[in-house]
Structure 1
Amino acid sequence: MSDGQSVNIIWLIGGIILVLSALFARRPSLGAIIRSLIGWAIVAGLAYMVVDHRDQLADLAARIGLSDQKVEGGTTRIRMSPDGHFWARVQLNGVERRMLIDSGATITALSQRTADAAGIEISDGGFPVMLNTANGTVMAKRATIKKLQLGNLEANDLNAVVSDRFGNLDVVGMNFLSQLGSWRVEGSTLILEPDQSEASDATNAATPS
């Protein structure tokens, strides 16, 4: 059992004891205690379902127009999530994932599950990368993402690292953000702008002299 699971179990036991203590202090009937416990169990079950199916709920919100991510003109806007972070819907080689945008991460990082699903190429040569994370030092493999799309933004042959120690977390790092024309936070919205110079170069190259 991991330390995180142990802490969750301790909090759960503590919560149950607190609820039972409050109930017995009021000396309710046995029926009232049972109804109260059932009510708490339903609330806990609903909370667990929301957390466990958060990705599916995010997809549903996008389909009915409640998306936190929108493309307006040439700009991609992402609203801050209730947890205080910016989460983006990203296509990795055509496979969609919900990824955390982290300006504190030097390089884009993928879970092993995501890398396998998207067919991410793991580099054969070179030494593994040692990364300092909130859970300690993690050894990760170097990889290359052929195509990453975020809204109207795109990066090809993007360097990344892959590790099963990331769990289910996938992160868009600074090596993607640094390729943009600009990025900034206004209020509770992250604004991502494409590099206009690349578009101008492509237009000029396509225009006959």
Structure 2
Amino acid sequence: MMRLIIVLAILGFGLAVLLFNHDSGRSFGMDNDSFGRMITLLPFAALLSVGILASRRSLSESVRQIAWWLLIILVLVTGYLYRNDFSAVGNRLLAGLMPGRAVVVTTSEGGMEVILHKSLGGHFETTVDVDGVAVPMLIDTGASSVALSFEDAVRIGIDPANLNYTQTILTANGRATAAPIRLAQVAIGPIVRQNIPAMVAEEGKLDQSLLGMSFLSTLGSLQMQTDELRLRD
């Protein structure tokens, strides 16, 4: 109970100082960010001191407790310093376990890159933001344009009554007609494009929407490896 009171007292004192010095931006000669980090470490130092004092009956026990606390502090500091790297590794792991999940990384040049992993069917699939609606799509470099299934088109708010099916396309279900349209916005993660040419397949002819070259050709690069696809803005 006493240890909890000490921790809360230190954190409460630090919070009060930060609130009081919010406008000035400095506390006790250091900037508020540095002061805040110091305050979060003080409870560990206080608990370490209390533990040492409580175990004065044995030097070996005191040394053992100091070692454990140093290890804990080292792990916490390491986790904080490499938090972005750990986050990137976690996202890559999730992408491998959940194909279709887009992983966003920053390249060495400071640009943005989206990484996709193959699905169980051997294709690259992901969820694409189309005019503010999440649409599952198959990445298809053989498709000249973004192609929406009839159902997805209706879902994003396109009225079939206003479409003119003037183009002929080949789909997995055979030859079909499609209506040319333009999409206000198509986005995968941070890669956003406006006014993208697209088409809507007639009802029942396209099982899944396709992300074709009218979007893919606007990218900085598209690199396909064994089970990985990299899209660079």
When normalised by structure 2's length, the TM-score is: 0.52
Q: Is contact 1:138–1:165 with CA below 8 Å preserved after alignment?
A: no
Q: Which has the higher contact order (CA 8 A, sep 6+)?
A: 1
Structure 2 counterpart of 1:128 = 166
Q: Is contact 2:130–2:185 with CA below 8 Å preserved after alignment?
A: yes
Q: Secondary structure at the match of 1:119?
A: coil
Question: Equivalent residues in 2 for 1:36-51 (5 A)?
Answer: none
Equivalent AA in structure 2 for residue 183 of structure 1? L
Q: Is contact 2:171–2:205 with CA below 8 Å preserved after alignment?
A: no
Structure 2 counterpart of 1:95 = 133
Question: Equivalent residues in 2 for 1:1-209 (5 A)?
Answer: 65=94, 66-68=97-99, 69-73=102-106, 74-120=112-158, 128-163=166-201, 164-194=203-233
Residue 166 of structure 1 and its aligned partner are, at CA, apart by 3.3
Q: Quick one: structure 1 residues 136 and 167, their matched pair in 2 at CA, closer, same or farther if it must change by over 3 Å?
A: closer
Structure 1 counterpart of 2:48 = none
Equivalent AA in structure 2 for residue 186 of structure 1? Q
Residue 157 of structure 1 and its aligned partner are, at CA, apart by 1.1
Which protein is bigger by CA-based radius of gyration? 2
Q: Secondary structure at the match of 1:165?
A: coil
- Determine the C-alpha separation between the residues in 2 that align with 1:134 and 1:127: 18
Equivalent AA in structure 2 for residue 182 of structure 1? S
Q: Is contact 1:120–1:145 with CA below 8 Å preserved after alignment?
A: no
Residue 83 of structure 1 and its aligned partner are, at CA, apart by 0.7
Q: Quick one: structure 1 residues 124 and 185, their matched pair in 2 at CA, closer, same or farther if it must change by over 3 Å?
A: same
Residue 127 of structure 1 and its aligned partner are, at CA, apart by 6.2
Runs of 5+ consecutive residues of structure 2 not aligned to the other structure: 1-90, 107-111
Residue 77 of structure 1 and its aligned partner are, at CA, apart by 0.2
- Determine the C-alpha separation between the residues in 2 that align with 1:154 and 1:122: 26
Q: Quick one: structure 1 residues 122 and 168, their matched pair in 2 at CA, closer, same or farther if it must change by over 3 Å?
A: same
Instruction: Among all aligned residue pairs of Structure 1 and Structure 2, give the percentage whose two residues are the same amino acid.
Output: 30
- Determine the C-alpha separation between the residues in 1 that align with 2:135 and 2:207: 10
Residue 122 of structure 1 and its aligned partner are, at CA, apart by 6.9
Residue 126 of structure 1 and its aligned partner are, at CA, apart by 6.7
Q: Is contact 1:132–1:138 with CA below 8 Å preserved after alignment?
A: yes
Equivalent AA in structure 2 for residue 81 of structure 1? S
Count of residues paired in the alignment: 132
